[in-house]
Copies of this chain bind each other. A is one copy, B any other.
Amino acid sequence: MAKNVGILAMEVYFPPTCIQQEVLEAHDGASKGKYTIGLGQDCMAFCTEVEDVISMSMTAVTSLLEKYGVDPKEIGRLEVGSETVLDKSKSIKTFLMPIFEKCGNTDIEGVDSTNACYGGTAALFNCVNWVESSSWDGRYGLVVCTDSAVYAEGPARPTGGAAAIAMLIGPNAPISFESKLRASHMAHVYDFYKPDLASEYPVVDGKLSQTCYLMALDSCYKSFCDKYQKLEGKQFSVNDAEYFVFHSPYNKLVQKSFARLLFNDFLSSASSIDEAAKEKLSPFSSLTNEESYQSRDLEKATQQVAKPFYDAKVQPSTLIPKQVGNMYTASLYAAFASLLHNKNSTLVKMSNLVVVYQPPCFPSVLTRETSFSLSNIATVMNVSEKLKSRNEFPPEKFVLIMKLMEHRYGGKDFVTSKDCSLLAPGTYYLTEVDSKYRRFYTKKAVENGVVANGH
């Protein structure tokens, strides 16, 4: 069986068009700090009429292949995670196939995975399992998480975002997974869903959704700690992981979630809880589970206790999610990319544990002599430069674009402005949807015909 299977290379793409949360806040007439402190968000990326989940995934995939020097023939499996459906039968994966078809490679397994934000993690696990299975033919797997999160006008709108992340999967990876230390929690709940097929917007019960997130987190953390105890013969606490990476609908929920882990540690008398923390949390020890999800006082107390841990173990992974917004399936991996961006030089010097939610799992980040290294991934992703070179839109222009997109969603027989002036060279963009709903994309020319190779 192939060993140390995991992520060899990554590329992150988000639209260069964004709006500052502070500006949106003022425009919406929201109280000052509602989006920036209340939600914990700095900025929000969005697709204009020339970009969508398909174009973003094409951009991320071609960029990854070019920048890491991977021949499209070397790909044996391609998996896409998304919950932004543009066609109910034809997968996003098929839109990526021309990249491989033109090299004569059509023997590529894998499809689209759909299950809200978890679809990307499912795609990743499927790829890892394939490399470990008897069906593996020695080629790389490729996973793409691509989503555009948009909401109807109202309180959910500032929790949007958009991105595509591509990951190359294979053995002897600098980022590999602890297969036995993994827990999932799946349940049938109507907190976030997209049943109105003619609309791009989801139906959301924000309060229920937040409680579901915390309940699932509790369930996974308990199950994870049980497995850890059995395998390692000792109790787990947040002290035992160097970093925690969370799926991030908005940063405030990440703060609350990490604090919730501390509350779990308190309830199980784990080593992360010192005397001072014990004192702060003991008034809440007799709350029922249901009460504990609703208690504002508990939330405050746990966040106080968690603060120093949060700054050290969580904050390094929050950069892109705070700057780009919710990216659904890509959110977790954007958080992970932020950690690599901020800490790659220290990560390579030690063996680290990183808890990833949702679902929690522990990929161990190891130092390994390989052509795919953490520092190379950080260099190629070039996060600072991508964030810096964005265009901030005024709210009026943002609202107009949202209206146009609403009108266009699911439509046919239109051409776009084909205005790619704001896009970086090498970016794919939508030019037309014809009378048979067929979608056409073009790639913005790269200067001198080459993309800088960061390998």
Kindly supply a per-residue 1/0 record for chain A positions 69-81, scoring 1 wherever the CB is within 8 Å of any chain B CB and 0 otherwise.
0000000000000
Selected interface stretch from A117-125, A424-432, A446-454: A117-125
A window 71-117: CB within 8 A of B: 83-91, 93-98, 101, 106-116
Say yes or no: B437 contacts A107, CB within 8 Å.
Answer: no
A54 to chain B, nearest CB (A): 11
Q: Which residues of B contact A203 (CB under 8 A)?
A: 436-437
A437 nearest CB neighbor, chain B only: B195
A71 to chain B, nearest CB (A): 17
| Number of copies of this kind of chain in the complex | 2
Is A414's beta carbon under 8 Å from chain B?
Answer: no
From known contacts A113-B112, A132-B133, A133-B132, infer whether A94 and B179 are also in contact, taking CB-CB under 8 Å.
Answer: no
Q: Name the prevailing secondary structure of the A interface residues.
A: loop
Say yes or no: B125 contacts A195, CB within 8 Å.
Answer: no
A359 nearest CB neighbor, chain B only: B109
A16 to chain B, nearest CB (A): 26
Q: Which residues of B contact A133 (CB under 8 A)?
A: 128-129, 132-133, 179
Say yes or no: B122 contacts A90, CB within 8 Å.
Answer: no
Kindly supply a per-residue 1/0 record for chain A positions 380-404, scoring 1 wherever the CB is within 8 Å of any chain B CB and 0 otherwise.
0000000000000000000000000
Say yes or no: B90 contacts A88, CB within 8 Å.
Answer: no
From known contacts A86-B195, A187-B97, A198-B198, infer whether A91 and B114 are also in contact, taking CB-CB under 8 Å.
Answer: yes
Q: Which residues of B contact A182 (CB under 8 A)?
A: 135
A193 nearest CB neighbor, chain B only: B90
Say yes or no: B106 contacts A186, CB within 8 Å.
Answer: yes
A133 to chain B, nearest CB (A): 4
Say yes or no: B101 contacts A111, CB within 8 Å.
Answer: no
Q: Which residues of B contact A119 (CB under 8 A)?
A: 111
A window 404-455: CB within 8 A of B: 410, 412, 436-438
Is A256's beta carbon under 8 Å from chain B?
Answer: no
Say yes or no: B190 contacts A436, CB within 8 Å.
Answer: yes
Q: Which residues of B contact A193 (CB under 8 A)?
A: 87, 89-90, 437
Say yes or no: A88 contacts B185, CB within 8 Å.
Answer: no
A389 to chain B, nearest CB (A): 31
From known contacts A186-B106, A187-B101, infer whether A116 and B130 are also in contact, taking CB-CB under 8 Å.
Answer: no
Is A196's beta carbon under 8 Å from chain B?
Answer: yes
Most chain B beta carbons < 10 A, residue from A86, A113, A437? A113
A123 nearest CB neighbor, chain B only: B111
Is A371's beta carbon under 8 Å from chain B?
Answer: no
Q: Which residues of B contact A183 (CB under 8 A)?
A: 107
Q: Which residues of B contact A110 (CB under 8 A)?
A: 122
Say yes or no: B198 contacts A107, CB within 8 Å.
Answer: no
Q: Which residues of B contact A118 (CB under 8 A)?
A: 111
Say yes or no: A129 contacts B135, CB within 8 Å.
Answer: yes
Is A188's beta carbon under 8 Å from chain B?
Answer: yes
Is A197's beta carbon under 8 Å from chain B?
Answer: yes
Kindly supply a per-residue 1/0 record for chain A positions 127-157, scoring 1 wherever the CB is within 8 Å of any chain B CB and 0 otherwise.
0111011110100000000000000000000
Say yes or no: B85 contacts A186, CB within 8 Å.
Answer: no
Is A126's beta carbon under 8 Å from chain B?
Answer: yes
Q: Which residues of B contact A180 (CB under 8 A)?
A: 134-135, 137
Bound CA–CA A83/B437 (angstroms): 18
Q: 4 other contacts beyond A109-B125, A111-B115, with CB at 8 A cut-off?
A: A106-B184, A111-B114, A128-B135, A198-B198
In the A-B complex, list the 8 residue pairs whose CB atoms are closest, starting with the nearest: A111-B115, A195-B437, A88-B194, A129-B133, A90-B193, A85-B88, A134-B179, A89-B194
A–B complex contacts, Cβ < 8 Å, 18 sampled: A83-B88, A87-B194, A88-B114, A90-B190, A90-B192, A98-B188, A101-B188, A106-B185, A107-B184, A108-B186, A113-B114, A114-B114, A125-B130, A125-B135, A129-B130, A134-B180, A135-B182, A203-B437
